[in-house]
Structure 1
């Protein structure tokens, strides 16, 4: 039974320790990151880049479709 307990608690303890260490490193006044270098603004910036690239890709794919070849019945599906 103790082996089973350590198999489940060790990964959870590792994840908790990592998240807590990152939280302390990001929010400590002496070693903290600048506001624009914190995780949330970086993720928002990366997500905005992804959306721009995705929209450009979808627009280019849509521009290559010949919509005149479809019959009215096919468009209703």
Structure 2
């Protein structure tokens, strides 16, 4: 089996490249998602929903 750099470094390079590509995608003015639909905002919204559901289960 052939590796680009090494067996352990190839997955790290792949993850780094993906994260960098998504960062550039969100920052580019032509491809940027509208306000309120960026990844960190959507993750925060989902986390708040999960927290409210969990709190409801613990109280009730």
TM-score range, shorter chain: 0.7 to 0.9
Alignment map for 1:6-45 (pairs within 5 Å): 6-45=6-45
Instruction: Report the number of matched residues.
Output: 57
**SS of match in other structure, 2:30:** coil
**Greater RCO (Cα-Cα under 8 Å, separation 6 or more):** 2
Measure the CA separation in 1 of the matches of 2:47 and 2:6. 37
The list of structure 1 runs, each at least 4 consecutive aligned residues, that deviate by more than 6 angstroms after superposition, is none
In our comparison, the structure showing a higher alpha carbon Rg is 1
**SS of match in other structure, 1:29:** coil
TM-score, normalization by structure 1: 0.68
Tell me, which stretches of 5 or more residues in structure 1 are unaligned?
Answer: 61-77
Structure 1 position 40, deviation (Å): 1.2
Higher helix share: 1
**SS of match in other structure, 1:7:** coil
